[in-house]
Structure 1
């Protein structure tokens, strides 16, 4: 069983979308996908209503996810940790105990050839179109990840 963690700042916008998208592309009997935030702002809350609505419009239900904060134990519990941007990468790597922990952390867009962006923009202060754009970036990235993992 391969365990994958998606990480953003608050665990209410980007990482819940990435969690739901990747989970929908992988067989549940071989993969576990979860999400977390580097900040503690929204612990125990559902994802942002705009993330829920964007996912729902694409046929995904992420409304049952609950926000949680990234913890050092996540290095033990997950095989791959995808972060949404450089700031979250640095926050997660600061908690790493060794090179093996660091090796698990990757920018989710680092191998995306369809986007010039290397970071997923935070749509929190934006509008529905910003959430749609983030969804599309993540969908593309997760499709490539799923193809790679299902080999």
Structure 2
């Protein structure tokens, strides 16, 4: 049974906090948090990502970026990443977590969620929409993991 999920991206200020907000809203009985593989530690969510997430009602509350670590990975039942290279990096650095690491787009032919950082508000909106749609599929299928 999945009780804890960590969403992971690069800086932990755009995609992973939005994904954590989406999954938390869809799965209230699961502890959801986020982290970055190269986190901008201590920063809040990117303002464009927050505005985009607000459009879908999935903005995380009080987000502060944090660095992914073996302790975070060990404490999670499931790790959800945004791009294939995130999964590959986890496999290189923490091979013990590879078996519980999946793409957010797992149920959409392993769709990747592109990084909108510093690329304009419209890409943040597109990212938030993709994250929300993919998160709905995770919520519907989480029992199979």
Compute the TM-score of the two structures, normalised by the length of structure 1: 0.87
The answer to whether the 8 A contact 1:52-1:63 is kept is: no
Q: List per-residue Cα deviations over 1:62-92 (Å, max 9, x = no partner).
A: 2511100110112210000001002211121
- Name the one with the larger helix percent: 2
Can you give the 5+ residue segments of structure 1 that lack an aligned partner in the other structure? none
| 1:144 has 2:98 as partner | no
Secondary structure, aligned partner of 2:31: strand
Cα RMSD, aligned residues only: 1.8
Kindly tell me the number of residue pairs found equivalent between the two proteins: 143
Can you give the 5+ residue segments of structure 2 that lack an aligned partner in the other structure? none
CA distance in 2, matches of 1:143, 1:38: 24
The answer to whether the 8 A contact 1:46-1:63 is kept is: no
Report the counterpart of residue 120 of structure 2 in structure 1. 127
Report the counterpart of residue 5 of structure 1 in structure 2. 6
Distance 1:97 1:60, change over 3 A: closer
The answer to whether the 8 A contact 1:72-1:95 is kept is: no
CA distance in 1, matches of 2:37, 2:137: 25
Residue correspondence of structure 1 range 69-88 to structure 2 within 5 A: 69-88=67-86
TM-fit CA distance, 1:137: 0.9
Residue correspondence of structure 1 range 8-23 to structure 2 within 5 A: 8-23=9-24
TM-fit CA distance, 1:97: 4.5
CA distance in 2, matches of 1:2, 1:33: 9
Distance 1:63 1:52, change over 3 A: farther
Report the counterpart of residue 38 of structure 1 in structure 2. 37
TM-fit CA distance, 1:95: 2.2
Secondary structure, aligned partner of 2:33: strand
